[in-house]
Structures are given as structure tokens and as C-alpha cells.
Amino acid sequence: MVWLLGFALAQGDTVRVVAASDLQFALSQIARSFEQQNPGVRVSLSFGSSGKLYTQLQQGLPADIFFSADEAFPLLLEQAGLAEPQTARTYAVGRLVIWASHSLVRQGLDPRVLGPRILLDPRVTQVALANPVHAPYGRAAVSLLERFGLLRPTRPVRWEEMTAGIPAYYDISILRRGKPRFEFVYGESIAQAAQMALSSTNLGLIALALAKSPAMAQGGVFWLAPLSSHLRLNQTYVILRGQDRPAVRRFYDYIATPQAHQLLRQYGFLLPGDRLE
């Protein structure tokens, strides 16, 4: 046994973490830092869409901690008795950006100058975003486009019911005006949406934490959306039912340490105690 701060940590213990894909860089570094300070304990990370992970956890996916890109999914798990009571905690506030490739910038389409107006240019015929059916960043992207008058709802619908695609529920004529075509390209997670923006669409509404990753930073530039312009991404984590072991609690608490906070800030996350817009 390894004793740390009153916890008995079993040698070889593994903390199984499932997390929103915007965390793949920040949380991987946090896990490595934690492992260095806790010899014999390993953190296993799996990333995906928050909504899909939520569904899989309902179906029995084995995991110890769930990091969501919003607060709704962890709270639903608590309400269903699938998470330890009173362990849902906001660890960060996510930021949304409009990212454009350098090839678009060379054509005069710089999101840092144009902001959301970049989507009106006739040369922008595809935009990548996460599927709002199950991805909080996709929902934030839709709310941002609506906030700037680029989408107009045509009928009320719940996020999880938007299976027919955005144009089935919103008037997108403003985005189509003067263009040979226009379409949304959906990633099953925000990480997949970022990859689509980088490899094919040249434009995407993605997480700041991914826009700051090496590949995206080398491939383009971004406009940072004000917090007030879209759904608030109060990113929350929770310990799953029956998994409150010493090693799990140790990693759960580590997320609130200065070391973890520094790494979250490095990737553009705001912290709960920060002054927010």
C-alpha cells in the first residue's frame, strides 16, 4: 500500500476516466502529472461525445469518473442514482471558437477580423461542428449562430431529437444566400469536428482547447466567441456509483489543485472561480 494524505492507495490501482473529447490534451497532461505524484496508480482515459458517453454509462459502461462538457449529463446521472451523491462538480468553463484554415485566411477570410460574418462569405460552403444531438459544443455552436442571426428556428425541438440535421429545424437561408451550396458537416464529437475542419471543410465551430492544440494552431487561426454569445459550457465531472475508492477520490480531488488548474488554463479553459463575462 502507498499512503498519501490519509488515503490508502493500492499498488496497481487504475482510475478509469471517460471524458469529453475537448479534454484530450489537457486531461492527458493532468493524468501524467497525477501519476508522477502517485506511484503505482494509473489513469486510463477514454474520450468521446458527452452525450454518447452518458448513454453508454446508463447502459453499464465500466468507469470511475465521468468528465462532461456540460453540467446536464452528470446531474442526470446523479438523479438516476448512477453517480455518487454530491460529487458533481464544475471543473472548468469551456470556450467556443470559429476556426479557419490558413488557406482561407490567405483569401481574406480571417475570423479574427470577421468573426461570425465569415460564414456569410460565398466561398464558405461547409462548416464543421459537433452533432448537437449529443455534443454540448454542438449545442453551443447552434446557439451562437442563432444569437448572431445566422439561424432562425422554424419549430421547437429538444436537442436530442434533432436527428434530421440543423436545416430540418432552423431556417438557414441567410447562410445559403449567394452560394452554390451550403452544408453543415457533423462530427460525432467536438474532436472529430475539429479534425474535419482541419482536413476538409477549412472552417469549424470548435472548442478553444482543441484550437490551441499543435495541429490546429499550425493549420489556422480562430475567433474567440464571448461567453454571452452561446450556451454556457459549465463543464462538470462526477464519481460514478460504487466507484469512490481512495485512488479515484485522489484523482477527483487532484482536478482542483493548482497543478491541474494551470494545465486547464494552458488550453484556454476558464476556472469556476475566475471572473466570467
State which residues form the domain around 61: 2-93+233-266
Tell me the pLDDT of the chain averaged across its residues: 94
Burial pattern 237-247, b for ≥16 Cβ within 10 A else e, equals bbbbbebebbb
162 and 238 in a single domain? The answer is no
Calculate the CA dihedral of residues 59, 64, 68, 72 and round it to 10 degrees: 60
85 and 102 in a single domain? The answer is no
103 and 177 in a single domain? The answer is yes
The answer to the question of residue 34 being in a domain is yes
261 and 184 in a single domain? The answer is no
pLDDT band at 6 (very low <50, low <70, confident <90, very high): very low
7 and 55 in a single domain? The answer is yes
105 and 74 in a single domain? The answer is no
Over residues 250-257, mean pLDDT? 98
What's the pLDDT score for residue 275? 74
The answer to the question of residue 277 being in a domain is no
130 and 80 in a single domain? The answer is no
The whole-model pTM stands at 0.93
Question: Which of 185, 181, 187, 96 is closest to 141 using CA atoms?
Answer: 96
The answer to the question of residue 276 being in a domain is no
| Rounded-to-integer distance, Cα 192 and Cα 142, Å | 17
pLDDT band at 177 (very low <50, low <70, confident <90, very high): very high
113 and 164 in a single domain? The answer is yes
Per the CB < 8 A criterion, the answer to whether 29 and 36 are in contact is no
Over residues 72-96, mean pLDDT? 97
pLDDT tops 50 at residue 7: no
pLDDT band at 8 (very low <50, low <70, confident <90, very high): very low
For the stretch 109-123, pLDDT in tens is 999 999 999 999 999
The answer to the question of residue 272 being in a domain is no
For the stretch 94-112, pLDDT in tens is 999 999 999 999 999 999 9
The answer to the question of residue 254 being in a domain is yes
The answer to the question of residue 274 being in a domain is no
Q: Quote the number of domains for the chain.
A: 2
| Rounded-to-integer distance, Cα 71 and Cα 93, Å | 10
| Rounded-to-integer distance, Cα 128 and Cα 186, Å | 6
100 and 217 in a single domain? The answer is yes
What's the pLDDT score for residue 276? 66
Q: What is the CATH number of the domain that holds 258?
A: 3.40.190.10
For the stretch 259-274, pLDDT in tens is 999 999 999 999 987 8
Residues 6+ apart with CB under 8 A from 128: 184, 185, 186, 187, 193, 194, 196, 197, 200, 201, 203, 204, 205, 206
124 and 220 in a single domain? The answer is yes
The answer to the question of residue 124 being in a domain is yes
Over residues 234-257, mean pLDDT? 97
